[in-house]
Structure 1
Amino acid sequence: MAWMKLTSKALYLIAGGTYQYIDKIELGSSVNGEYQLTFPVYWFQGQDSPPRRMSVNLNETREPTPLWGGDNGDTHAPNPPTPGPMPDYNGDYYEARVWPWVVVAPSGLNCRADAELSAAIRTGFAQGTVIESSGWKADSQGRPWLYIPTEDGYIRSNSRFIQPAY
């Protein structure tokens, strides 16, 4: 689940379980000590409510790093996100777009050589790890698995194990 962090420079939408930001809003200058911020609508799409947690430390000197790599100076993510993936009634995601995910399973999540529970494990991802998928494939039971190109493997595509990073 994404969360927000406010520093003396910006308000950040942080990918769940990380210190990497998805988007940021520069604070700019205050008027009579007050800041007016306009939140992008997609910060709250696909959620039942706004992020539940916000960290405030105006003395913080370390700023979060971008989730998508180098900071290009924009105040928004390089490719502003569209509405996020939504699970079906079983909690399964069928997502063909390239998308960042956060591992939410307390014991982590295995990445397998193929889209089957019996396939060899290539690697494991700890809870809070942000990973990017690019397409999906069904196993012999019809359950969806997301392809993780950096590992050339598959993870089970279910809300018990992963959530969209935003």
Structure 2
Amino acid sequence: MPWLKLTSKALYLMEGSQFLNKVDLDPRDKPHERSLQLPISWFKSPDPPTGIVVALSCPDEPTAALPPSPPPAPPHTSSPKVNFALVPDPWKPASKPHLTVLVQAFHDQGIVDGRVLAYAAATISRESSWNPRAVNTTDRAAKTGFPGAGLAQITWKDNYRAVGKLTGIDFVGQPKLMFDPYKGLRAKAAFFQMNRMIPLIEKGEYESAAGIYNAGNPKFRSSYTRNVAVDTKKWLPVFTM
């Protein structure tokens, strides 16, 4: 079960004796004070931390847990083909340059299910309109240096770090890599994996998956979750084996 550990340097999301993620403490004007951006997403996960240990004296900081390797694509399983003629009309011109990249990026992250690709296409359509240079300037993450960017639209430093561990791409050191369509879509696939959205998508529970994606809660409902669920069904015929 995850738990929290606060030291003089960082807040750690722990499992056992190793940390899964961390948020570094920032200096303040007063030399004996530190601040941090509370990582809300940790508490919205399906298995949130329920306790905290405050280390009054901590000579050694926790060590990182080994990140899980991206699951390989199933052997002898090809990726779905893209039927461009069936792309929903509003998105045909904008999505065309990126659909084969989407299939390749998710394949390289071990995902070859057409339903997951359809769901990803629905979220991209809603969030970035298939513009790989899109930046969300309206939410709270916009001023942190880790905004919703590119086709992935993943926010916050802790999420950049987490998808970086799963993909092997340094999104924290180089946040602008989110603007690269292939790398950004690898990050999107990893975000689906780490938030356990794929089993929901495979069962057709698209709105529950959208609740996790949008608010970290499978029970969350809004016009966004409803629209994504409807749009996913429109994209399903596009990705066929």
Q: Give the TM-score of the pair, scaled to structure 1.
A: 0.39
Q: Which has the higher strand share?
A: 1
Which structure has the higher relative contact order (CA within 8 Å, separation 6+)?
1
Give 1 or 2 for the bigger CA radius of gyration: 2
Q: Give the TM-score of the pair, scaled to structure 2.
A: 0.28
Q: Which has the higher helix share?
A: 2
